[in-house]
A and B are shown apart, each in its own frame.
Chain A
Amino acid sequence: MRIRYLLPWLLLLFVAGLAGCRSAVQITAEVVAVPAAGIPERPDDSAWNSAPEHAAKLLLQDLVEPRLMQASTAEVRVRAITSGQEIAFRLEWMDATKNDLPGPAHFMDACAVQIPVVIDANAPDPQMGQQGKPVEIAFWRADWQASVDGRPDSIKEIYPNASIDHYPFEARSLEKGSVEQREMAARYAPARALGNRRAGPREAPVEDMVAEGPGTLAPAASATSKGRGVKTANGWSVVIVRRLPAGFSPGVRTQTAFAVWEGSHNEVGARKMRTGWIPLLMRGQE
């Protein structure tokens, strides 16, 4: 009988406890980068607990063709930490499926961070910038993460039952790993032969790019960003680390935008969920 009287109180204490846990996460209306001695490159690093969280609502990319017509991922939760030379973003979103195997009609889970090249009160268009007002984009993709995590660069990883008679670059006359053999292999992989950075195999799961409007996305002059993404029980937790934007210092505000691609929803390229510009502030040294 006594337990029946205690139940409402226990429930109240439980709810209060939950609220207490939640209040430990500081929620901010803008993305606030917290200074730290080092950059936490793992998404589950406890250092992320020190950074406030911004929950960014995601919108359909429905301005330029090809558009995304049906909404998928609702929001992305973002935290940021800076070392003074680099800035790291941790993006987390809900996703029930892991899409990291490429193929015809297979699309990859991915996310991106966008920042204007120049800090200016008059920001570029939030959709990939505009002519004369470029944006920098750091793009993470799940299949690149799998590749960096050790998945071999082989068709058998995608189609385990594939049976291949022969590749020309595996001819007996070519010594394995020799320059001649690699040249022969490149001849049958034109994108790799041309140095297309997307054509893998990749050493980092993040790609650096610049854009001046939709359709203008191009590789950045140098590729310095890195990152790490981990599939959690109900979504992705991805850290993207890039160099600090030029002129970004304590107390300075610039803009940032995020995009998320849900592979199982055939999202790729312009078909994505994205945010508008969100103010990005570096908190002063405490």
Chain B
Amino acid sequence: MARVYNWQLGRQMSYWYPESRPQRQFAAVFDTNKCIACQTCTLACKTTWTSGVGQEYMLWNNVETKPYGFYPLGWDLKLLDMLEGQKWSEREYEGQKINHYDGSTIFESAPAGERVLGWRPEDQDYSYPNVGEDDCAGQVDGGASFSMEHMAWFFYLARICNHCTYPACLSSCPRGSIYKRPEDGIVLVDQGRCRGYQECVKACPYKKVFFNPMTGTSEKCIACFPKIESGLQPQCFVNCIGKIRLAGWISTPDKARPDNPIDYLVHIRKIALPLFPQFGLEPNVYYIPPVHVPQSFTRQMFGPGVAEAVSAYRNAANDPDLAGLLSLFGSTEMMVPRWKRQGEQVVGMNEGGEILRVPLTEPVHIRPAYDRLYQISRTNCP
């Protein structure tokens, strides 16, 4: 095991291979508050990549309802049960306060004979995606009605491969059949070399590697790399109805740039957080946590930065930079590596210059209920 630095944990940790960061790292921000679980992302991925024989059950992208939804069944709970002592503390590092993970990662907790602490789903665990999971946490008593405060809660969690900086799938493969591309950090299974041992399926804590029983190899999300190579965002991003997603490139915290959309949201404003950072993989899909969910839950899921993130997000209406950048989500198929706000407009740019301009506030037209010209009342009825 080598010693590597995981900035999400605020410390060094053990990993099977030495630290080797790509030239640039593919990353994404998902706004959970905007997801409506319409599954358009799931279908966009499914029809693009996994319509073959043996791929029927594969959902490289899925959306599940938390707290009771999983794909595969119990993917997070099982590992959380196995991983002991997930404590965080606040420490000082070079004059700044950082969150330090005091617990053990899945690499550091690997049992004898294993490279990673993991578990392997059975085929039944993949059998019922989204069935019976749209129930809210807590009892709703008879006579209750909706009010502004949520009496009970649930939220939608859209998931793809996290293209981790320290992938557990990659470290677990005894054949080195999984690799992380140096040019963009995308993690791929070499389909010519894989022999289907399913070690990666067991090791990935997010369960985003799937075994194909017909080809005998394991397959996973490829971040639509042919699109990325053409400067475009992946299918699940551009087909998102709720415009919850933005793809881009993330820097390490010490090299964070305010004009990089992902850096701004993750490192500078800290409103987008990794999924289960305590597992130790430095995952690269970042989530704006749901604002209405008890933070005792979201803190376990997204780490100790949840309170700060929710507070900043709630204030976005008074924060033109943040509100402006959030309005770039889902506004173009192109990757947006740079951005700036110019007054009431937000500008997205790439190496070639400006690629789009979005108003901070959409123009609002109010049509009065009574039409004075025609002297008639309008109604919503057809």
Binding site for B on A (CB under 8 A): 62, 64-69, 102-107, 153-155, 158-159, 162, 164, 166-168, 185, 187-196, 198-200, 214-215, 217, 266, 268-270
CA distance A217 to B212 in the complex (A): 21
Is B217 among interface residues, defined by CB-CB distance under 8 A? yes
Tell me whether A104 and B198 are in contact (CB under 8 A).
yes
Residues of B close to A107: CB separation below 8 A: 198
Of chain A, the residue at the smallest CB distance from B47 is A168
Contacts of A185 in B (CB 8 A): 52-53
Q: Are A158 and B213 in contact (CB under 8 A)?
A: yes
* Chain B positions within 8 Å of A266 at CB level: 120
Tell whether A102 pairs with B216 under 8 Å between CB atoms, given A66-B174, A67-B113: yes
User: In the bound complex, how far is the Cα of B126 from the Cα of A69, in angstroms?
Assistant: 28
Chain B residues near A (Cβ < 8 Å): 50-56, 112-115, 120-123, 125-126, 172, 174-176, 191-199, 201, 210-217, 219
Does more than half of chain B's interface fall in helix, strand or loop, or is it mixed? loop
In the assembled complex, the CB of A232 is this many whole angstroms from the nearest CB of chain B, namely 25
Q: Is the interface of A mostly helix, strand, loop or mixed?
A: loop
* Contact between A64 and B174, CB atoms less than 8 A apart: yes
Chain A to chain B contacts (Cβ below 8 Å), 28 pairs = A65-B113, A66-B174, A102-B213, A104-B121, A104-B213, A105-B198, A155-B56, A155-B213, A155-B214, A158-B213, A159-B123, A166-B51, A168-B51, A168-B52, A185-B52, A187-B52, A188-B52, A188-B55, A190-B215, A191-B192, A191-B194, A191-B217, A196-B192, A196-B193, A196-B194, A196-B217, A199-B215, A215-B175
- Contact (Cβ within 8 A) B54 A189: yes
Distance A196 CA – B189 CA, assembled complex (angstroms):
13
Closest CB in chain B relative to A263 CB, distance in Å: 12
Known: A66-B174, A196-B191. A191 touches B199 (CB 8 A): no
Q: Are A167 and B216 in contact (CB under 8 A)?
A: no
Which of B120, B174, B193, B211 is A65 in contact with, Cβ under 8 Å? Answer: B174
On chain B, the residues within 8 Å of A62 by CB distance are 113
* B51 to A, closest residue via Cβ: A168
What 7 A-B pairs are tightest by C-beta distance, nearest first? A188-B52, A67-B113, A269-B197, A191-B215, A194-B192, A190-B191, A191-B217
* Residues in A neighbouring B112, C-beta threshold 8 A: 67, 69
Given A188-B55, A189-B212, 9 more pairs with CB closer than 8 A: A67-B112, A69-B113, A103-B123, A103-B213, A105-B201, A162-B56, A166-B51, A190-B219, A268-B197
Residues of chain B within 8 A (CB-CB) of A190 are: 191, 215, 217, 219
Q: Complex formed: what's the CA distance from A219 to B288 in Å?
A: 46
A200 to B196, CA, bound (A): 12
A104 touches B194 (CB 8 A): no
Please tell me which one of the listed residues B51, B197, B213, B215 contacts residue A192 in the complex, with CB atoms under 8 A apart.
B215
Looking at B51, B112, B125, which has the most chain A CB atoms within 10 Å of its CB? B51
Which of A68, A104, A167, A215 contacts B51 (CB under 8 A)? Answer: A167
Bound CA span A164–B214, Å: 15
